[in-house]
Amino acid sequence: MGYDRKIHFVLLISRQGKVRLTKWYSPYTQKERTKIIRELSGTILTRAPKLCNFVEWRGFKVVYKRYASLYFCMCVDQDDNELEILEIIHHFVEILDRYFGSVCELDLIFNFHKAYFVLDEILIAGELQESSKKTVARLIAAQDSLVEVAKEQESSISNIIAQATK
Amino acid sequence: MALSGMRGLSVFISDIRNCQNKEQERLRVDKELGNVRTRFKNEKATHLMFFLFTLTHIRIYGLTPYEKKKYVWKMLYIYMLGYDVDFGHMEAVSLISAPKYPEKQVGYIVTSCLLNENHDFLRIAINAVRNDIIGRNETFQCLALTLAGNIGGREFAESLAPDVQKLLISSSCRPLVRKKAALCLLRLYRKNPDVVNVDGWSDRMAQLLDERDIGVLTSSMSLLVSLVSNNHEAYWSCVPKCVKILERLARNQDVPQEYTYYGIPSPWLQVCLILNISIIRWTWICPGSYSSPSSMGLTIIVEQLEDITVSREVKTMRALQYFPEVEDPNTRRSLFEVLQRILMGTDVVKNVNKNNASHAVLFEALALVMHLDAEKEMMSQCVALLGKFIAVREPNIRYLGLENMTRMLMVAEVQDIIKRHQAQIITSLKDPDISIRRRALDLLYGMCDVSNAKDIVEELLQYLTTADFAMREELSLKAAILAEKFAPDLSWYVDVILQLIDKAGDFVSDDIWFRVVQFVTNNEDLQPYAALKAREYLDKPAIHETMVKVSAYVLGEYSHLLARRPGCSPKEIFNIIHEKLPTVSISTIPILLSTYAKILMHTQPPDRELQSQIWAVFSKYESCIDAEIQQRAVEYHALSMKGAALMDILAEMPKFPERQSSLIKKAEDSEADTAEQSAIKLRAQQQNSNALVVTDQRPANGAQSAGQLGLVKVPILSNAVRFSSIDHKITHGQDQSAAERVSHANGALTVVDPQPPSTPSPDLLGDLLGPLAIEGPTGAAPQSEASVASGLEGGVDADALAIAPIEEQANAVQPIGDIAERFHALCLKDSGVLYEDPYIQIGLKAEWGGHRGRVVLFLGNKITSPLNSVQALILPPSHLRMELSLVPETIPPRAQVNVKLRLPAVLNKFLQPISVSAEEFFPQWRSLSGPPLKLQEVVRGVRPMPLAEMANLFNSLNLIICPGLDPNPNNLVASTTFYSESTRAMLCLIRTETDPADRTQLRMTVASGDPTLTYELKEFVKEQLVNIPVPSRPPVAMPSHIQPTSPPPSAISDPGALLAGLL
């Protein structure tokens, strides 16, 4: 059914084949996940530049785009609109860019968890959840501040405890 | 460099990055895993003491929340690197119930990354997730909804759906929670529509549409799409609202700035709105009663298209494709105007994103044009546009151009216009991008017909030599299919296949070369040509083994047709083929031997030198270790000594029964056949496929026959025959030509899928043994009833054979050999003689795999006159499903016989051996604790046999002995798997304890996951142990020994015996 399409998974792979983010919206076992990553990095990373952004894979289509040293890949059904998925990838990248301020691979390595937070605000269940970059940025900022506040509280508590046990 | 904010984590990541190689990385990871594991372990130990210590102790013995968080992140990082993280899931899940946001957040994210919906650990989390959903903290609610939305399975749907529904419609919840609730519900509903109760949700959804927040609206709309697609009628009340929102968005642009995308107000929301309107309208069209709101919706949709740009249009047009048709002429006209504008007015711009976006719209417009069944002119425009696209530089557009052109092939009237672009498409076959090459191949394959087959197939063949390995297999298969389907003439077909074998022999399956042999055999005018071609290929250095096979076969049959040409004397042919012999594998040698025998036979007058050369080859292989080669060498040697008699045995192969190509069959399963005018098809139609093939049987000995013409009625093998039996015919060239005279008919039947043994039936085994009745003309219904009865009893004694002479008692026919014994032998192997009497021999050849099998019965007439009105009536067994092919009507009568036989379609044929280790065996054995899953019985009256023989018997029943599992050397432990159509493979375990003092009894324990299966397997094994006849000779003995009771009428070459040899 055309209207029940969704993204099956999202992969971020570096040019060296290191996985930087994986998100699975369809159930795959651990073994399948490893196999998919291996197969796809084998096909996608070896593709020369200036080829098209689509790879046919086991009856699905993987739409990918390279941004600097990172490949962003999303797997969809065969009859989905490839160019549209390419736009969702771009949407994701723009939001990351805005959040990190000119995002680079290192940001995503050391803050891989943040990338997950961002993705969770954009996609749920393989569907686009939020199309406003500003809203996503606001929600992530709110989460960050919650974490900060908790950290401060904690450190003040541990200060108290530390002083009490001196 | 932005740091993670957790020093330990950053240090670890840096360490990993600094590793020089994979080995160092592994060491670092192992160290970290060890560290994390110890920390978690200690924490568990101190968990219980938590309450006993004061708060300060937490820092000493337990992990601080910060540490715990850090370790769980490290786990996720290690997991992402591709290492197995087989512990700590519990810790990650337990963080979900942490009281503070930072830990909770980590718990949720890591859990949803590590686990999938089928993971057991997820169950533990359900309660915590639910608590967060029904709790008051909205940030917690968001986390919980995201997890359930991303990996929630059935149990989540069962326990969370009502709460999620409440959140979605709650007026006190903020939008950020509700939009997540909508998508979470979408996932739960999509996966388990039966669990999530949406009765009465149409009103709720209508209320939701009043929502002002665009995020919530977007998500709700996705949910609505899913709900509506499941049940159109219920949601019609939402339509006017959808239309209203659409108007608001499109006309008033009443949208916050942040929700515009490339200047368009909330495209995704509009998309969903339109989608909904369209789906709902789908149902309206039938009753026709709601035409006014729907046409209003449609008008708005069409207007939407007017303010062009991005992906909103994509979905808009996709949505329009759900309309069966657009009725209103005005709407239709304006719609086409818009489409026309899109098609013609989309320019290529510099900005890549913008370009992608506008082309996404354009391709969707193309799809819509196809869907709307536009006028031919518009379709032609589309094709012209696509033709432009496939030649542009931008690869995405080239790819999509080819893809959409393939879709366009569905429209019959533009196929000719597409063909105009053939040259460009063929160029795309050489594109540097494999994705594009694949599309081009698909398109060429789709557009091929008789008119262009020659060009396209030759192009494919040329490309084959340079194509990458990833594509060769597909390429050669497609070329073979096209060549067969659209061959303008048959010699071209032979050329193509030979070229295919030459260029990509490794990818040419046996099916393909069998097929070419079949055509050559059946078409006399093709034979000299094929022989000549084969001869030419043999001159090439280093040819593929498949080429050796085809050439040898064809030259063996038809090289005498070339005799006058230079280089084609029997001797030269022999020499050139014989040169290849040292290079070929065991499977090819038998074909070469047959060829030699045929060459020898065709050499008239005999050439002594050639003869001695060939005899030398035969005698060399008479001691070959491979049984097939050895047998052929011996037989050919002996036969060729006989001189004139050779002529008979080695006569030319008869025509093959016309049958559908397995390749074409494969191809046709997925597509409609467009090969109406193909030469091969025409041939097939001209030659009555049920043709009477007249074979000139030369009298083998003067006294025997007065030069009878054997009329052979070749049965059509039904399409149900899954595996082509041609392999069998070809590789047994000589046998077949003999057998052809023998098996004046051959019928094939495809058996059987056992149904699951889940319905307990004590008769399972009996039912598996479908009786076969071969009746004379007067055989009628009562008899078949009788056969059913005997079949159900499944007796193997004299009852199993009922010879019922129908008209003359005197005509009673005595079977040769013990039928029960033959049956038993066939239980253990897959080919042999099932029944034999002086007149008829029934051979059986079976292939079994998993839950299905194919059984071919060879009905051989042993006398020289025909047997009439042969009927093979297979009584359908209740636990098997049968597909029967046609049975020949004629094996003309000398005797009227009614024989009822059991077919050896018994339990063990559906078993596949599996050997289990002790670690696998014992838990399974123990878990099947007793009746009815595990049954034990003391069996008496066992035919005494040494333990090794019993082990062999088990092995031949596909019950594989697992040595070393039972410490007692007198016990046998065996395992196997049972296959049926609707169950998975089921493991069965058997233990027999024998008594060395008394070999006639033993104790047997059988266990499996199904009570019926256990029972039947026990009974079956018991039957085998008790009843097994002592084979006084191999069940299929040397031909000359097989008829002790009545010598066959034909003394020189007993057809029955030959048939037996064939099997």
Q: Which pLDDT tens digit goes with each residue over B661-694?
A: 666 666 555 443 333 334 444 444 444 333 222 2
Residues 118-157 on A with a CB inside 8 Å of B are 120, 124-125, 127-135, 139, 142-143, 146-147, 150-151, 154
Write out chain A residues lying below 8 Å of B215, CB-based.
Answer: 129-130, 132, 135
Over residues B85-135, the pLDDT tens digits come to 878 888 888 888 888 888 889 999 999 888 888 888 888 888 889 999 888
> Residue A135: is its pLDDT beyond 70?
yes
State mean pLDDT over B691-720: 32
Residue A55, domain member (yes or no) = yes
Which H or E run includes A87?
helix A82-100
Q: How far is it, in rounded angstroms, from Cα B216 to Cα B891?
A: 77
pLDDT of residue B668: 57
Residue A2, domain member (yes or no) = no
Q: How far is it, in rounded angstroms, from Cα B901 to Cα B893?
A: 20
Residue A3, domain member (yes or no) = no
Q: Which two tokens stand for residue B104?
A: 């909770």
Q: Is B863 within 8 Å of B1048 (Cβ atoms)? A: yes
> Residue B749: is its pLDDT beyond 50?
no
Q: Which two tokens stand for residue A161?
A: 């405890």
Q: Which two tokens stand for residue B579?
A: 């040169």
Residue A14, domain member (yes or no) = yes
Q: Which two tokens stand for residue A12?
A: 């971020």
Write out chain B residues lying below 8 Å of A100, CB-based.
Answer: 2
> Residue B598: is its pLDDT beyond 60?
yes
Q: Does B735 touch chain A (CB under 8 A)?
A: no
Through-space distance between the first and last CA atoms of chain A, rounded to whole angstroms: 67
pLDDT of residue B665: 67
Q: Does A117 touch chain B (CB under 8 A)?
A: yes
pLDDT of residue A97: 92
Q: Which two tokens stand for residue B209?
A: 């549409």
Tokens 């030959």 identify what position? Answer: B1058
pLDDT of residue B93: 86
Residue A1, domain member (yes or no) = no
Instruction: Pick the more confident residue, B811 or B395.
Output: B395
* Average pLDDT, rounded, for chain B: 70
Residue closest to B484 by CA, chosen among B438, B451, B528, B519 = B519
**B912 DSSP β-pair partners:** B977
* % of chain B at pLDDT higher than 70: 63
Residue closest to B83 by CA, chosen among B3, B182, B16 = B16
pLDDT of residue B873: 64
Q: Does B1025 touch chain A (CB under 8 A)?
A: no
Ranges A17-26, B172-181, B554-563: which has the least confidence: B554-563
The alpha carbon of B224 is separated from its chain's Cα centroid by a whole number of angstroms, namely 36
pLDDT of residue A149: 85
pLDDT of residue B329: 66
State mean pLDDT over A87-113: 89
pLDDT of residue B907: 76
Domain range spanning residue A93? Answer: 9-164
Instruction: Pick the more confident residue, B168 or B789.
Output: B168
Do residue A82 and residue B400 have CB atoms under 8 angstroms apart?
A: yes
Which H or E run includes B43?
helix B22-47
Cα–Cα separations (whole angstroms), residue A3 to B189, B272, B658, B864: 15, 9, 45, 68
In 3-state terms, what secondary structure has residue B843? Answer: strand
CB pairs under 8 A between A and B: 195
pLDDT of residue B543: 85
State mean pLDDT over B567-578: 85
Q: pTM of whole model > 0.95? A: no
Q: Is B129 within 8 Å of B142 (Cβ atoms)? A: no
pLDDT of residue A82: 86
Give the pLDDT band (50/70/90) at residue B887.
low
Q: How far is it, in rounded angstroms, from Cα B846 to Cα B57?
A: 74
Over residues B604-636, the pLDDT tens digits come to 777 888 888 888 988 899 888 888 899 889 988
Backbone phi and psi for residue B549, each to the nearest 5 degrees, phi listed first? -60, -55
Ranges B28-32, B817-821, B873-877, B1053-1057: which has the least confidence: B1053-1057
> Residue B148: is its pLDDT beyond 70?
yes
Do residue B396 and residue A34 have CB atoms under 8 angstroms apart?
A: no
Residue A115, domain member (yes or no) = yes
Q: Is the peptide bond before B996 cis (omega within 30 degrees of 0)?
A: no
State mean pLDDT over B182-199: 87
Write out chain A residues lying below 8 Å of B433, CB-based.
Answer: 47-48, 51-52
Structural domain total, chain A: 1
Q: Which two tokens stand for residue B125?
A: 């989390």
Over residues B452-477, the pLDDT tens digits come to 888 888 888 888 888 777 788 888 88
Ranges A12-26, B251-265, B836-850: which has the least confidence: B251-265
Instruction: Pick the more confident residue, B310 or B478.
Output: B478
Do residue A125 and residue B150 have CB atoms under 8 angstroms apart?
A: yes
Write out chain B residues lying below 8 Å of A28, CB-based.
Answer: 116
* Of residues B81, B215, B353, nearest to A135 (C-beta): B215
Amino acid identity of residue B495, one-letter, is D
Give the pLDDT band (50/70/90) at residue B308.
very low
Q: Does A81 touch chain B (CB under 8 A)?
A: yes
Residues in contact with B315: Cβ distance below 8 Å, sequence separation at least 6, in sequence order: B267, B268, B270, B271, B272, B274, B275, B364
Residue closest to B400 by CA, chosen among B449, B352, B367, B446 = B367
Cβ-based neighbour number of residue B348 at 10 Å: 12
* % of chain B at pLDDT higher than 90: 4
Residue A116, domain member (yes or no) = yes
Residue A4, domain member (yes or no) = no
Q: Is B1033 within 8 Å of B814 (Cβ atoms)? A: no
State mean pLDDT over A141-164: 79
Q: How far is B40 from chain A (nearest CA, A)?
A: 21
State mean pLDDT over B370-392: 81
Give the pLDDT band (50/70/90) at residue B883.
low
Q: Is B369 within 8 Å of B378 (Cβ atoms)? A: yes
> Residue B39: is its pLDDT beyond 60?
yes
Q: Please tell me which residue of chain B has the smallest CA distance to A90.
A: B353
pLDDT of residue B878: 59
Residues 10-49 on A with a CB inside 8 Å of B are 18-25, 27-30, 34, 37, 47-48
- Helices then strands, each counted (H, E), chain A: 5, 7
Q: How far is it, in rounded angstroms, from Cα B871 to Cα B776?
A: 7
Write out chain B residues lying below 8 Å of A59, CB-based.
Answer: none
Give the pLDDT band (50/70/90) at residue B239.
low
The two most distant CA atoms of chain B are separated, in Å, by: 114
- The CATH number of the domain where A13 resides is what? 3.30.450.60
pLDDT of residue B279: 47
Give the pLDDT band (50/70/90) at residue B970.
confident
Do residue B435 and residue A54 have CB atoms under 8 angstroms apart?
A: yes
- Looking at the predicted complex, does its ipTM rise above 0.85? yes
Q: How far is it, in rounded angstroms, from Cα B482 to Cα B449?
A: 8
